[in-house]
Amino acid sequence: MRRLTRTVTAAALATALALVAGCSSDSDTSENGGGGNGAALEKVTYLTSFGNFGRDSYAWVAKDKGFFKEAGFEVDIKPGQGTGGVVQVAGGQADFAPVDLTGAILQFANGQAQGFVAVAAVQQRTMAAIATVEGKNIATPKDLEGKKLADTPTSVVRNLFPTYARLAGIDASKVTWVNGEAQTLIGMLGSGSVDGIGQFVVGQPTIETVTKKKAVMLPYSNVMQDLYGNVLVTSTKNAKEKPEMVKRFTAALLKGLEYSLANPDEAGEILKKNVPAAVPAAAAAELKLMAAYVRSSNSGTALGTLDEGRVAKVISLLQGAGAIKREVAPKEIIDFNLVPKA
């Protein structure tokens, strides 16, 4: 089984908490107010997947390097809080957001969110995990029984936990969950108020920096290997009425992702420029770890692709585990006409 790890290193707890709050910058590479063809820029609101950590720095890179402007967009980047971003996108509070595909399927199939579609993959493998630290007597999934875990209510880690528990041989009724927010989770773990938290695997260095203890990661992919990670979602309204706009935005964002993976140190500095509390080295470390999840095992496959057959397997897994209440076809949640071609 692959052991996965999750990163963003903060210099101290205050820094780690401040990272998530962040702020958006109006800077772009070119100084004029138009896009690459001189036309007026279209204003777009984009939510990050989870705060303003290194794993999301590629959006800042796409903005700073002028990729969004070249595609005709003025992008307002706001910190997200997990899979709940699908509700904001569907409701029109944001135009685009990266959310975990499995979490999106759970919300869609169980009637918690409608009116959105995925249009590209960000990560080809899930980075979802339970994170803890040494001294909590947690080394295997079974050790989570009798423990207290924290996460945001809409987090994919939390919502997928019953399925993970069943497949990993955990009695989920013996695990207690409490609420936390993106910016408070690591602090809760560091203070000892909880035994573990929901995290992406790339968060390991941040956890170790803040808690001053060695992190222990329990990746969901160890027991659910077909799961995708984050996917870019937009509203069904945008997908139907503005398909070319969606394609242009997707291409610009993926260009930022590709540049960030190729230049992680520069991406960390760009994040720092836009989010003052960010730690460039930490952001770079996250991107270096994330690279293995972004690329398909087939090195010739284009960035952002989604395979309909594989998505069907994920849905079948969730149905078999009793995690979703009705059958879902991949085309209900993914617009394959807009997804980058393999």
Task: Give residue 34's pLDDT.
Answer: 61
Locate the domains of the chain by residue range.
14-125+229-317, 128-222
Task: Give residue 246's pLDDT.
Answer: 98
Q: What is the mean pLDDT of residues 309-325?
A: 90
Q: How many helices (H) and strands (E) does the chain have?
A: 15, 12
Q: What is the mean pLDDT of residues 305-332?
A: 91
Residue 341 has pLDDT above 60, yes or no: yes
- Mean pLDDT (the chain, rounded): 87
Task: Give residue 326's pLDDT.
Answer: 86
For residues 239 and 206, the model is more confident at 239
Residue 282 has pLDDT above 90, yes or no: no
Task: Give residue 335's pLDDT.
Answer: 98
Residue 33 has pLDDT above 80, yes or no: no
332: enclosing H helix or E strand: helix 330-333
**Radius of gyration for the chain, computed over Cα atoms and rounded to the nearest angstrom:** 19
How do residues 5-25 score in pLDDT, each as one tens digit? Answer: 333 333 333 334 344 444 444
What are phi and psi for residue 234, nearest 5 degrees?
-140, 175
Task: Give residue 7's pLDDT.
Answer: 35
Q: What is the pTM of this model?
A: 0.82
Task: Give residue 25's pLDDT.
Answer: 43
Q: What is the mean pLDDT of residues 170-177?
A: 97
Query: Nearest-CA neighbor of 206 among 220, 178, 231, 186?
Result: 186
Percent of the chain with pLDDT over 90: 67
Superfamily of domain covering 14-125+229-317: Periplasmic binding protein-like II (3.40.190.10)
Residue 340 has pLDDT above 70, yes or no: yes
Task: Give residue 263's pLDDT.
Answer: 98
Q: What is the mean pLDDT of residues 79-102?
A: 90
The Cα-based distances of 52 to 96, 283, 299 in angstroms read 15, 10, 28
Q: Highest mean pLDDT range out of 56-65, 313-322, 323-332?
A: 56-65
Same fold, 14-125+229-317 and 128-222: yes
Among 61-70, 128-137, 201-210, 279-288, the range scoring the smallest mean pLDDT is: 201-210
Place 30 in a pLDDT band, splitting at 50, 70 and 90: very low
Place 332 in a pLDDT band, splitting at 50, 70 and 90: very high
Task: Give residue 240's pLDDT.
Answer: 97
Residue 105 has pLDDT above 60, yes or no: yes
Residue 118 has pLDDT above 90, yes or no: yes
Cα(60)–Cα(69) distance, integer angstroms: 12
Q: What is the mean pLDDT of residues 285-289?
A: 91
Task: Give residue 29's pLDDT.
Answer: 41
CATH, domain range 128-222: 3.40.190.10
Task: Give residue 207's pLDDT.
Answer: 87
Among 152-161, 245-254, 264-273, the range scoring the smallest mean pLDDT is: 152-161
Taking the C-alpha atoms of 3, 7, 10 and 13 in order, what is their torsion angle to the nearest 10 degrees? -60
Task: Give residue 84's pLDDT.
Answer: 80
302-316 CB burial, b ≥16 within 10 A, e <16: ebbbbbeeebeebbe
Q: Which residues contact 92 (CB under 8 A, 6 or more apart)?
A: 235, 237
